Amino acid sequence: MRRTVPVRLGDRSYEVVVGPGVRNSLAEVVRRLGAERAVVVSARPDEWVPDTGVETLLLPARDGEQGKTLATVEALCGEFVRFGLTRSDVVVSCGGGTTTDVVGLAAALYHRGVDVIHLPTSLLAQVDASVGGKTAVNLREGKNLVGAFWQPRAVLCDTDYLSTLPAREMLSGLGEIARCHFIGAGDLRGLPLTEQIAASVTLKAGIVEVDERDAGKRHLLNYGHTLGHALELATGFALRHGEAVAVGTVFAGRLAHALGRVDRSRADEHLAVVRHYGLPTALPAEVDPELLVRQMHRDKKAVSGLGFVLDGPEGAQLVTDVPQEVVFRVLAGMPRAPMDSLVGAATPDAVLT
């Protein structure tokens, strides 16, 4: 089963192909681009890197936030120069979202922009990070502070890569799929994974097509993320991104209900969907709500008071100036569970696919 999702952005349009074995169409994509040389930056073992069909430099990489730096971008660009990569050649990333982000930025900057193809290997990178053209690296001062919009020329989401993905990383990606239920993808529960990925990518593509540069509608993709980001920080990243977003999604349902935007059953649906994907639904007992609210005031959507993307009569919307006392009340009403029990349910090395 293979699904192709177009991302329609005029002369920056491309396709996202999803399914088992789709990485093997890399040589065909490279041929269509007319590149004569390729640099493949890969965080996966060599045997997982497909043939490019052209002269290739294979650079080993490691996924992880530590490598998402300007120093890595500089090192990669140095390798591109020594290999003789020209502006009409191509760069290929193969790895998790950290790798697609840093390689995407190197491609955006090298010779003021060279074609890049992403082969995302984590579920989160397949449903989110590799699609939409945002690239970034971290500074000591914070995450994703330096970046560029640079659309890939193609994205090949090979679901075979997920066979080696640790269970908690799988869950993290499922957190992003779960929140799609409330921002226009409909009910994806029970669909095969390829369909769930393709539907999540279709949703993101539709949003990126109308707001490529994150000036409005792209906010919707941050459903569950206001509390999610605060939870990641408050737990020292003990919760993976998608796990934190899952708890944030349950909270978003309850907050929308507390503000009279949705009825009780729609709020309960948030819990049911998040639970269906096997994701955490409770706040870590160890986390202080005061700290969460302080963090949420720093959220980039908090231009005017506390800001959340919330479901409502006209679907999900950015809601600003949410009264702090309501946020505290909804936080206080959330179920709580010790951190260990929230993330302990998954066996880190188990394979879910």
Instruction: Summarize as ranges the residues that interact with ligand NAD (CB under 6 A).
Output: 43, 63-65, 68, 95-99, 101, 121-122, 124-125, 128-129, 132, 134, 144, 161, 164-165, 169, 172
Pick the closer one to ligand NAD by CB: 62 or 336: 62
Coil, strand or helix at 316? coil
Q: What is the DSSP letter of 92?
A: E
Asked if 115 contacts 140 with a C-beta cutoff of 8 angstroms, the reply is no
Cβ neighbours around 317 below 10 Å, total: 17
Residue 49 backbone phi and psi in degrees, to 5: -95, 120
15 vs 296: CA distance, rounded Å: 35
Smallest distance, ligand NAD to C-beta of residue 69, A = 11
CB of 253 to ligand NAD, least distance (A): 22
Which of 67, 284 has the CB closer to ligand NAD? Answer: 67
CB of 244 to ligand NAD, least distance (A): 12
Between 65 and 269, name the residue whose CB sits nearer to ligand NAD: 65
Alpha helices in the chain (DSSP H): 26-33, 70-83, 97-109, 123-124, 167-180, 193-210, 225-234, 241-258, 264-276, 289-297, 324-333, 339-344
Tokens (6 digits) for 277: 């994907």
Instruction: Output the smallest distance, CB 332 to ligand NAD, in A.
Output: 30
Cα–Cα dist 97/114, whole Å: 19
| Closest separation in Å from C-beta 136 to ligand NAD | 6
Taking the C-alpha atoms of residue 40 and residue 239, their distance in angstroms, rounded to an integer, is: 31
Query: Which tokens sit at 268?
Result: 């309960």
Nearer to ligand NAD, 258 or 343 (CB): 343
Query: Is the Cβ of residue 333 or residue 348 nearer to ligand NAD in the bound state?
Result: 348
State the minimum distance, in angstroms, from the CB of residue 71 to ligand NAD. Answer: 16
Q: How far, rounded to the nearest angstrom, does the alpha carbon of residue 325 sit from its chain's CA centroid? A: 31
Of residues 101 and 115, the one with the C-beta less far from ligand NAD: 101
User: The tokens of 267 are what?
Assistant: 């709020």
Helix (H) or strand (E) holding 14: strand 14-19
